Structure 1
Amino acid sequence: MTSYWDRITDYYNENRKTPSERTKNSLQHRWSDIQKDTARFCGFYAEIERKRESGKSEDDKVKDALQMYQGLVKSVFKFIHCWLILRYEHKWQAHLIDMSTPNDKEHSETLQATEVQAVEAMKDKTLPPKISRPIGRDKAKRMKTSNTASNSTAFLQVLQNMRSDRQAYEERVEQATDATEGAISARSERKLAIQEQQLRLQERLVTLQEEREENLVMSLDLDKMTPWAKDFYLMKQKEIVTRKTTQHASNNEE
C-alpha cells in the first residue's frame, strides 16, 4: 500500500513547475522546516495580539510579528503564505497545542531540580508559548471569512516587499554585468590596439629590410661583374629607380 508521503511525493512531482524532481525525504524535510518556522511565527503573532494595542490593524499586527520574528530568530520569516493558509485550520491549531503542551516527564514531581533545569535549558526559546484550546470549526470559518480582506492585504504587502527586494537584486546584477562587459570591452580594445601597433612595427621592419636590400643592389660595381650578372643587376637597379620615382610622384600628389 502506498504511504501518505509517497502519495504526496507523486503528486508534487506530477504537478511541479521546476525541472528537477524531489524525493520523499526532501519533501518531509521541507515540511518540517515550514512547520517549525510557521509555529514560531504563530507564537509571535499570538504575543502581539495579547498586547491588545489600540489602533493596531491586522496589517500592523502582522508587520509587528514579522519584526519580532526577525529580531529573535535572526532571519526573515519566509513562509507568510503558508501561515495565511494554515492559521485557521483546525488540524494546524491542534498541532500547535501538541507542540506547546509539555510531556508528563517534564512535569513529574519526582524530577530533581537539576533535571528540570536541563529540560528548560534545552527548550527552544523561539517556539510559541502554550496556546489555548483551538476554537470550533464554525467559528474558525466565520473568522477566516471576516479576515480575508485584511489577510490578503498583508499577504500582498509581503509579496510587494519580496518583489522590491528581487528588483533591487536584479538591478545590482545588471549593473555588475554592465561593468563587467565594459571592462571586457576595454581590455579587448587595448589588445586590438597592441596588435595593430605590432603589425605596424612588423611592416616597418619589412620596409627597412627591403630598403637595405635595394641600397645594396644600387651600390654594386657592375663593371667588375660578368656580362650576365651585370645585365641582371642592371635590370634590378632600373626597377628600383622606376619604383622609387613612382612612389615619390604619388607622395607629392597626396
Structure 2
Amino acid sequence: MEAMQMFQSMQGASFQFLHCWNELRFHPKWLGQFSMKKSKRSKNSSPATSSPATPDSINCREDECPTEGSSRPIGRKAAKERLKQGKDKHVASEITPVMLFIDEMKQDRKEKEIKRAELFGQIYVQEQERIKIEQARLQVAQEAQNIKKEKMRLKAMKQDERIMAINTDGMPPLQVEYYNKLKMEILERQFGGGSSN
C-alpha cells in the first residue's frame, strides 16, 4: 500500500494496473525478481555468504539464466534470436538419431531428384532422336510414294503412246472404233483435262 501511495504522489494519478499486479505477483518470474531484489537490499549479507545461484553471481544474460525455483523457459523471440546468432550451443549438441535420419532422408531425396532430372534429360534426348528418325522415315516413305506415282504416270504414258501409235488400217470396223475411242479419251485427258463418258 505504501508503494501505491508513493506512485500516486510521484505520478499524480492512481496506479491503474492493480488487477494485473494481483494476477502476476505470485508468478514465478516475478517471485524470482522480488527475491533477488530482497537479497540485494539485505544489509547483513556479505559476498561470501550470498548464494552462488543468483544471476548476479553467474555471467549470463537474463534470458539464458533461469531464476531460483523457476521452471520458466526462454521466450520464443529470445530462442529465435539465439538460433539466428548461432549462440544456442546446447541445441547443436543435442543431435538425435531422428535428426540424423531426417538429414539422411533429405540427402537421399536430393540425390533422387538429381538422378530423376538426369533421367528426364536422357529421355528427352532419346525422344528428340526418335522424332528425327520418324520424320526421316516419313520423308523416305513420301519420296517412295512420289516415285511410285511417277512410275505409274510413266507406265500410263507409255501405254497411251502405244495405243496412239497403233495403225488401225486393215482392222475390223469394231476394233477400229474401239481404238479410236481410246485415242479420243487419251487426247481429252492430255489436252482437255476431263474424260469422256
TM-score by length of 2: 0.48
Name the structure where helix makes up a greater proportion of residues.
1
